[in-house]
Amino acid sequence: MHETPLDRPDPLRVVVVDADDLVRQTVAALLGIGGRVEVVGIAGQAGPATDMVINARPDVVLVDPRLPDLPGGLDFIRRLHEVAPTVRVLVVCSPEFLEIVGSSEGVHGSLRKTFRPGDLTAAIEAASRAKLG
């Protein structure tokens, strides 16, 4: 039987990666409500985020791939899968960038930054169930 996030004994572990500090803090605070998601790290650049994913071993990484230290967002997503092959990636960004990366290889879900709080948790849960590969 496939375990759903609601059946999980532990919350989904998530790392939030966004260049904007206010966005990172807000998303982390939203995810702390309800107990279904545990934020195990936040980062504003690809380098520290990669190290965080290696060490924290999250289930899902929320990524706005427009990061200042890595010009190509898809390169960062590929890097994540090299260092953590079982991590799921949920892209959260503006609509125009979402069209570019939202259906790329290695992306397990996408969400516009204009999301409602319940949409964020639902997208994380859906990404956590997505097939790898």
Render each residue's pLDDT in the chain as its tens digit; 133 residues.
334 444 557 899 999 999 999 999 999 999 988 889 999 999 999 999 999 999 999 999 999 888 877 766 678 888 898 999 999 999 988 777 766 665 667 889 889 888 888 899 999 999 999 988 6
Whether residue 31 lies inside any domain: the answer is: yes
Domain count, the chain: 1
Q: Does an H or E element contain 76, and which? A: helix 73-83
Whether residue 1 lies inside any domain: the answer is: no
d(CA 106, CA 61): 11
Whether residue 2 lies inside any domain: the answer is: no
Structural domain range at position 115 = 10-129
Whether residue 118 lies inside any domain: the answer is: yes
Closest CA to 83 of 107, 49, 116: 49
Closest CA to 90 of 113, 57, 116: 113
Strand partners, 42: 16
Q: Which residues contact 48 (CB under 8 A, 6 or more apart)?
A: none
Whether residue 4 lies inside any domain: the answer is: no
State the amino acid at position 60 in one-letter form. Answer: V
Whether residue 124 lies inside any domain: the answer is: yes
Q: What is the pLDDT of residue 121?
A: 92
Whether residue 21 lies inside any domain: the answer is: yes
Instruction: CATH number of the domain at 110, please.
Output: 3.40.50.2300
Whether residue 5 lies inside any domain: the answer is: no
